[in-house]
Amino acid sequence: MHHFIAWCGFLGAWLLVAGPLDQAVREIEETGFEHERLEEAVEQVEEPAPVSNWWLLVPPVWWLLRRKRESIYRHLVGEALADEDLLAFLTVKDILNAWLYVAAGASLIAVKETWELHEAYEWPEWVFWLGAVGMLTFCIAITVGRTLRRHRRPAVEG
């Protein structure tokens, strides 16, 4: 029974990783955000000059200067977007961030459950790493595969 429970925890935790990834893609697709609009706005705004590497002698100052320039650049790109495009972009960003937090938390649980399964069978450590990386790859592949299938099937009109 111990091994059965270990497998249930392992599979359940990795399903909790795949679900939010797939849901994020679905919700982002539903927003109808057109990435081309963002690319057009980025092309209109001149990128800031990079912060001099001399500031790396004082890393906190370099980091603050770099962050300030990036903030100004993002603001200018936002101003170059139409209001509805900016709102759509911010919505996509919020959806992505929220679901990635859920997927990241689930990934931590999945890593723990993968370790528990590894311990239940007393497998070598490389099996744990293979399982964790393999399952993460599998979760991403499931999301990509489902997305591609959604795009290939004809739209249902109702």
> Does residue 79 form part of some domain?
yes
Taking residues 45-64, what's their average pLDDT?
94
Residue 119 lies in a domain: yes
Query: Do 118 and 7 form a contact (C-beta atoms < 8 A)?
Result: no
**What integer is the mean pLDDT of 60-74?**
95
Q: How far apart are CA 72 and CA 92, in angstroms?
A: 21
Domain count, the chain: 1
Residue 157 included in any domain: no
**Which range of residues forms the domain containing residue 76?**
2-152
pLDDT (0 to 100) of residue 157: 60
Average pLDDT over every residue of 56-77 = 95
Judge if pTM exceeds 0.85. Answer: no
Q: Is residue 12 domain-resident? A: yes
Question: Is residue 93 included in any domain, yes or no?
Answer: yes
d(CA 53, CA 63) in angstroms, rounded, equals 11
Confidence check: pLDDT of 25 > 90: yes
Q: Is the pLDDT of residue 155 over 80?
A: no
- The pLDDT confidence band at residue 33, using thresholds 50, 70 and 90, is confident
Q: Which two tokens stand for residue 86?
A: 């900016």
User: What confidence category does residue 51 fall into, taking pLDDT thresholds of 50, 70 and 90?
Assistant: very high
Q: Which two tokens stand for residue 87?
A: 């709102």
Split at pLDDT 50, 70, 90, the class of 154 is confident
